[in-house]
Structure 1
Amino acid sequence: MQQGKYYVFFYDVPGRNIASGSLPIKEGTPVTACPVSVVEAKEDVPLAPIIVDWEADDKENPFNWSKPRKWRISLTGSSFTGLTAATGALVAAGSQSMIRDLHCTSEQAQATLALFALGFGVAPLALSAYSEEFGRKPIYLVSFAIFTLFFMPIALAKNVQTVMISRFIQGAAGSTGGAMVAGTLADIWVTGERGFPMAIYTFAAFFGTGMGPTIAGWVELKLHWRWIEWIAMCFGSVLGLWMALYGVQETRGHILLGRRAEKLRKSTGDNRYQVAYRPKMRELIWISITRPIYLLVTEPVVASISLWIGFGWGVLYGLVDSVGLVFGALHGFNVAQQGMVFLTVAIGSIIGLIGNIYQERLYARDVGRFGPEARLYAASVAGVGFAIGSLIYAWTSFSSVHWIAPCIGLTVISASIFTIYLASFSYLADSYLVYASSALSGQGLVRNLLATGFPLFTPQMYTKLNFRWASTLLGLVAAGLAPIPIVLFFWGPQIRARSKFARRLIGVEK
């Protein structure tokens, strides 16, 4: 036998192959040392790769991790979400001292709020591809480091252009705290367990949006806008240290399987251990950019849900401007008192979180009968509540009406948008399954683009239409969008069944 590499086939009985492998056979090597008899050796016969996958009850599978470990990861990600949400809104509280110090216009100050939302909306289209290629942990750590460091150029800025550019970059980096946390929850929680962790994640986004301006208002009153950034950077540094040392772990299944395959290749010397095929980086980026847009254009379910929550998210960002106008002009609130009004957003998120407990019970009862549409009970009520809350806010905007009345309207609006936001994530994830991340990316793009636009025209709208009619207009639009969850509840399956993409999805799942 010549020296070289041969593919050796092993048999237990004549004619029945039970295993095969490749062995480097040198001249003089006794083949009888093999554990079973070698009956033939053929050169240059290709062998199929060994696909590494999870075993039953595999402890390394993220779905099988312990509950404390899952909750540590979930709460860490939700904390990141809360901090980015607070950062997005807090800059408005310091706008007056920023305008004075940087000699900028109010429109430029409003643009700093909008540019954060713009970065938050467009960055996930590319970041999702990088998380597929490199895993979630490095993307979390790098993006959070950039997010935290960019408080510094904002705090030290000598002109408003520096603030605007830094806010855009910070929003892009902070988008990981919004877009990828939902993916992390999907990595570690099975569908039946995911409802409450998703509710906590949504709660963090809303609670942060409410608490950011509340705290920043008092800082603005005493220390002005630069200290808002420094204090936020301190919070970010503490959370970043926790994330780096303990709070963040890799949860992406194919990344963990890839590491297992690499260990097997090294320990056995057999290069056939591989993970299932993954697209190349260029393909991933192309898919992550184009597929969400494709779904928005071709899927009525994705388009309608995205428009609905996009409008709600735009209104939430618009409130950052309208609250100062309404409560400052009508009730003489200073900047700290105006910030306290945003506690209505935090209270609304608590109400929405409590309401989700009943929604989850209804979902568990009816998911077998209605499928993903069982996610829409609370959202159907919230659509009506959104319109009613806007009208309450509109027609209590008089100086003669106690300030608690418009605060009630704001609380109803916030609780309703919370419920709509949570339903949009859960419903799209259940409806589009393996393509859920693309559907959610499309939703996030629309949501943050509208959040970018609303702060740019809200002050002008409230000034020209007056406080009451501006809020009435928002309420009428909300009323026009309110039937969306009801229509989807009754006809969602039929709408999806007519879609070419949905039929392809059914084929993939089969």
Structure 2
Amino acid sequence: MAQEARDIIMSSRSSAASPLVSLPITYNNGRNSPTPTTPDHTYQYIYLEWNSQIPENEISGLPTSIKRYTEPFAWSKSQKKWTLFLACGSTFLAALCPGAYTAGLDEMMEEWHVSRLVLLGAFSVFAVGFATAPMFLAPLSEVYGRWPVFISTLALVNVCHLGTALCTNIPGLYLGRFFVGVGTSTFSTMIGGVISDIYHTDSRSIPMSIFTTTVLSGTAIGPTIFSLIVVHLGWRWTNWFQLIINTVSFGVLWFGLKETRGDVLLRRKAMALNAWLDERERVAEEKQVMGRKVRWKVKADEAKQNLWSMTKVSLTRPFHLLFTELVVFWFSMWTAFAWGVLYLFLESIPLVFRETYAFDLIQIGLVFLALFVGAIMGNILTILMEYLIATYIPSTNIPEPERRLYASCLLSILFPIGLFWYGFSASPNNHWILPTLSTGCATIGIYSIYLAVCNYFADIYHRYASSALAAQGFSRNMMAAAFPLITDKMFLRLGFAGASGLLGGVAVLLTGVPWALVFWGGKIRARSNFAKTYWVN
């Protein structure tokens, strides 16, 4: 996984100097080894690290094409902020997709003469693609870098938006929505890896909170934007509009986003250095001037498995963690339920406000602004509470990942409160602002849950964090695929109060998960082979 490969690099940096290894060159000694001019040449191999000192006789005349490779952690603040802006901006555009689709459901039912459940099936297919794709795409980003994966998947999304805009049948719609889910998944699941590439742990909280805000706010504001488009232009224009803005985003990412994965950049630097040394030695041999023959290689490449082995690990380890690690299982259930409710809102809010208050499509779209405001408020309250915790709650010299949970222990209580409030206030006798405010309240709780799980997994699992996050990502999106299919029947059969009360009761039980870890997290980590590996060391 992404974090695991990065740890190999970090461990190699602990050495004070780069080791020299004198070996006879062969023709199959790795992808970064140069092609020898004669079989008799002997090279001195040096492990290239970001702090490696290139000898004076080699650094003279070093081309800028090599000097431009710098460690992402050492980038300037402006470069990091620009990268964060591009990454989170792309995430926001990807998060618009679910709400854009649900805004056009009524028109699609009239045009195609199918039931709402059939069209919601395409919504669920999108979530399935979103859940499964990262397990295949994550190993590709480790081998080839983040940039190629982002660019190729965004191109796939644009092709699918074009196909969906022109689609005239249900199978084509399902196929297009599945691959839209595949493509947009990278901008939700891999942006956390980009943030880890350029920010150290102690400065990662605010970038992660910004990323979480863009995920939730994009999902929330999508119905608001696209309900206006559907009313004035028709449902097909929801796809044309996304195609236009994503095409612009594609151009900006192509020219503006730099590769962030450290070992990939280091490998490219080693290859560029070796190619340059090849050319220098060729000129030196023509002048009959022979010197030391040096080649650079990357230590992480020697430990890295091939792509197929990495894919197998990517597909199996998340499920191993999910079913053997109590922390991963219960946190995945917690965040999966919260995410399922967020997607349930996309279907239940139109139902509740149409049936109870006779809202039209534009008015329903405006209700979703409450979720957007809730995501922003969640970010503000989390930052404020973390500041108060750091100021007034003393910590020991030993890192305590459970401190990450203090804010979510309090803010996540707003999740069940919002659900109870939502169901019991949705009545013709009550003003429409009451259930509207309740959705914002629940969203604050959902925000705190999502952020807490991401931060806690990264802290306690370290090199296995990618696998743990993949497990919760799969669970979260599969729940998101299931909830919209049962929303209408559940709310109509149980009533608005009964359905929301049932959801609120489950949310109350799951709210105990972070409290349990605050009190017993250390003991639970001590029993885990994966978490203990990092914390003992």
- Compared CA separation, residues 126 and 382, structure 1 to 2 (3 A): same
Q: In structure 2, what is the Cα distance between the partners aligned to 1:255 and 1:133? A: 7
Map residues 299-314 of structure 1 onto 2, 5 A cutoff: 299-314=325-340
Q: Indicate yes or no: 2:312 matched with 1:286.
A: yes
Deviation of the 1:505 alpha carbon: 3.8
Q: In structure 1, what is the Cα distance between the partners aligned to 2:122 and 2:306? A: 36
Q: Contact 1:112–1:163 at 8 Å: present in 2 too?
A: yes
Q: Contact 1:383–1:483 at 8 Å: present in 2 too?
A: no
Deviation of the 1:384 alpha carbon: 1.4
Q: Contact 2:23–2:45 at 8 Å: present in 1 too?
A: no
Q: In structure 2, what is the Cα distance between the partners aligned to 1:409 and 1:260? A: 53
Q: Indicate yes or no: 2:360 matched with 1:334.
A: yes
Q: Contact 1:129–1:281 at 8 Å: present in 2 too?
A: yes
Q: In structure 2, what is the Cα distance between the partners aligned to 1:185 and 1:45? A: 43
Deviation of the 1:95 alpha carbon: 0.1
Q: Contact 2:216–2:372 at 8 Å: present in 1 too?
A: yes
Q: Contact 1:397–1:467 at 8 Å: present in 2 too?
A: yes
- Compared CA separation, residues 345 and 47, structure 1 to 2 (3 A): same
Residue in structure 2 matched with residue 360 of structure 1 by the alignment: 386
| Identical-residue share of aligned pairs (%) | 35
Q: In structure 2, what is the Cα distance between the partners aligned to 1:234 and 1:331? A: 35
Q: In structure 1, what is the Cα distance between the partners aligned to 2:327 and 2:457? A: 8
Q: Indicate yes or no: 2:350 matched with 1:324.
A: yes
- Partner letter of residue 323 of structure 2? V
Residue in structure 1 matched with residue 142 of structure 2 by the alignment: 132
When the two chains are superposed, the root-mean-square deviation of aligned CA atoms in Å is 2.2
TM-score by length of 2: 0.84
Residue in structure 2 matched with residue 10 of structure 1 by the alignment: none
Higher relative contact order (CA 8 A, sep 6+): 2
Q: Secondary structure at the match of 1:123?
A: helix
Larger mean CA deviation between 44-53 and 296-305 belongs to: 44-53
Q: In structure 2, what is the Cα distance between the partners aligned to 1:241 and 1:292? A: 34
Residue in structure 2 matched with residue 184 of structure 1 by the alignment: 194
Q: Contact 1:104–1:160 at 8 Å: present in 2 too?
A: no
User: C-alpha deviations, 1:379-401, integer Å up to 9, x for none?
Assistant: 10123111111111011011110
Q: In structure 2, what is the Cα distance between the partners aligned to 1:319 and 1:20? A: 60
Q: Indicate yes or no: 2:280 matched with 1:267.
A: no
TM-score by length of 1: 0.88
Larger mean CA deviation between 58-67 and 223-232 belongs to: 58-67
- Compared CA separation, residues 271 and 136, structure 1 to 2 (3 A): farther
Extract unaligned runs of 5+ from structure 1.
1-17, 25-42
- Compared CA separation, residues 403 and 52, structure 1 to 2 (3 A): same
- Partner letter of residue 235 of structure 2? W
Q: In structure 2, what is the Cα distance between the partners aligned to 1:427 and 1:135? A: 25
Residue in structure 2 matched with residue 240 of structure 1 by the alignment: 250
Q: Contact 1:359–1:375 at 8 Å: present in 2 too?
A: no
Q: Indicate yes or no: 2:479 matched with 1:447.
A: no
Larger Rg: 1
Q: Secondary structure at the match of 1:251?
A: coil
- Compared CA separation, residues 272 and 100, structure 1 to 2 (3 A): same
Map residues 92-171 of structure 1 onto 2, 5 A cutoff: 92-171=102-181
Larger mean CA deviation between 48-57 and 426-435 belongs to: 48-57
Larger mean CA deviation between 368-377 and 56-65 belongs to: 56-65
Q: Secondary structure at the match of 1:53?
A: coil
Q: Contact 2:20–2:47 at 8 Å: present in 1 too?
A: no
The ranges of structure 1 where at least 4 consecutive aligned residues each deviate by more than 6 angstroms after the TM superposition are: 43-48, 56-59
- Partner letter of residue 525 of structure 2? R
- Equivalent pairs counted in the alignment come to 472
Q: In structure 1, what is the Cα distance between the partners aligned to 2:359 and 2:265? A: 54
Residue in structure 2 matched with residue 250 of structure 1 by the alignment: 259
Deviation of the 1:22 alpha carbon: 7.4
- Compared CA separation, residues 333 and 266, structure 1 to 2 (3 A): same
Q: Contact 2:328–2:472 at 8 Å: present in 1 too?
A: yes
Aligned pair partner of 1:418 in 447, 451, 457: 447
Q: In structure 2, what is the Cα distance between the partners aligned to 1:206 and 1:197? A: 15
- Compared CA separation, residues 299 and 19, structure 1 to 2 (3 A): closer
- Compared CA separation, residues 435 and 238, structure 1 to 2 (3 A): same
Deviation of the 1:266 alpha carbon: 1.9
- Compared CA separation, residues 260 and 394, structure 1 to 2 (3 A): same
Deviation of the 1:89 alpha carbon: 2.1
Q: In structure 1, what is the Cα distance between the partners aligned to 2:337 and 2:212? A: 17
Deviation of the 1:264 alpha carbon: 2.3
Q: Secondary structure at the match of 1:92?
A: helix
Q: In structure 1, what is the Cα distance between the partners aligned to 2:355 and 2:20? A: 82
Extract unaligned runs of 5+ from structure 2.
1-18, 26-38, 54-66, 279-292
Q: In structure 2, what is the Cα distance between the partners aligned to 1:153 and 1:231? A: 13
Deviation of the 1:23 alpha carbon: 9.7
Q: In structure 2, what is the Cα distance between the partners aligned to 1:22 and 1:322? A: 67
Q: In structure 2, what is the Cα distance between the partners aligned to 1:19 and 1:224? A: 66
Residue in structure 1 matched with residue 46 of structure 2 by the alignment: 50
